[in-house]
Structure 1
Amino acid sequence: MMTHKVALFVTCLVDLMRPRIGFAAIRALEAAGCEVVVPEGQTCCGQPALNSGDRDHAVALAKQTIAALEPYEAVVAPSGSCAGTIRCHYPELFEHDAAWLPRAQAVAGKTFEIMAYLDEVCGWRPEGVSLDAKATYHDSCSGLRELGIKAQPRRLLKSVAGLSFAPLQGEETCCGFGGTFCVKYPSISNAIVGEKADAIDATGADLLLAGDLGCLMNMAGKLNRKGSKVRAFHAIELIAGMGDGPAIGEEA
């Protein structure tokens, strides 16, 4: 098995709200034969600033992130939105900066969403992982539309023994989170996630899976408020054999 030295870009939400996703990412990457490093210089990728029009702070955070990540063979993130920011938007940020553009392009070109990296680059499948449950899957907007994350998590999850799937109506439809969108337009966001929660409940699934913690927190919160029994997990938690722990929103 070829050893890949990868930098784990943990993401702000994972670091602050659900660290076990980071540990699950490390477990899965190491099982796939990777040597994992968590660069200490990483903070936020700058996506909230970029989406809010604060270009100066977005550029400053992007420079800090590039400097922290460029020494490594590959960069892997358990988030399609953060990986999409680095891979798709960093080169745009430095389009007219001759010094930083090649550095941004180099880091962008070796940045991957974790499930795409495990599936496409490593060609890995989890072994000895089982969970007797029915799951449904939500495709998060940035991962799906910027990075094409669709089949990869499903291929990996098929190797989890005992896990069955129920189709989700509108699986590619936004959950209403949208980063700062849910803060700026709470009534619209709530209406969108309300429809999503009803669709999730209608599947009869035990578990809701997705690849972005922001989306999962939004949907898990709505499901909890409406009294649903569906429990939410990041897909990498199940893939890494950590699907028997507390669900999102259940942590002490």
Structure 2
Amino acid sequence: MKKLALCVALALAAGGAYAKDWSTIRFGTDASYAPFESKAPDGKLVGFDIDLGNEICKRLDAKCEWVEQDFDGMIPGLKAKKFDGALSALTVTPQREQQIAFSAKLYNTPTRLVAKKGSPLLPTVQSLRGKSVGVEQGSIQETYARQNWATKGVNVITYQNQDQVYLDLNSGRLDAALQDEVQAALGFLKTPRGVGFAFAGQELPTGAAAIGLRKDDDDLKSKIDKAIADMIKDGTYKKIESKYFDFDVYGS
């Protein structure tokens, strides 16, 4: 009888019949990207992504745990099961979809170049050749800059987090920085450290942000997708959005 029970248990496990326990959901985040995720003076994680994640956990009757992770280690950390979801302004790209799954869209993520006010710089090879542009490691902005600029005379410099990019931009070690438009506007340009800087040129085509998930966690993806859809439908998403933005970040 014991042997039979063991065989049944092994068969069920092999067939994925055992539901995973999602009573606790761990989200990885890079707390250097206000207003999406950053640290309050008391050390507490705050931001749009943090509020969205906490609301998702609430709807799934799960405890939220937040794991801080530099952005370039977000996908490796997810795959290594350091956390269950990467919730950190992570843009969906074909390259990333080869490695991980994504939830339903959270918001749009346009990209912009930032430089000194009055600078003639534009987000083009011709304008940036011989200049130094800072990007966050692992970001879509790094990918874009490397593919389109780095091989054509633009000095693309990578940093572990966005705060380091802005430090070198302020110090003059960088001529410009390439990052998410909303983050740059609210997390830099509208703050004291962003005085004297402005957007340079038009936005670059990028995509939409979502929660990164492991490909074999289909059940968690289904739960999170439903929570996102319900939040949008019942107005909770708009309520959270209005705390941080005076415009629609979700888009069409």
TM-score normalized by structure 2?
A: 0.34
Return the structure number with greater relative CO, CA threshold 8 A, min gap 6: 2
Specify which structure has the higher proportion of strand.
2
Specify which structure has the higher proportion of helix.
1
TM-score normalized by structure 1?
A: 0.34
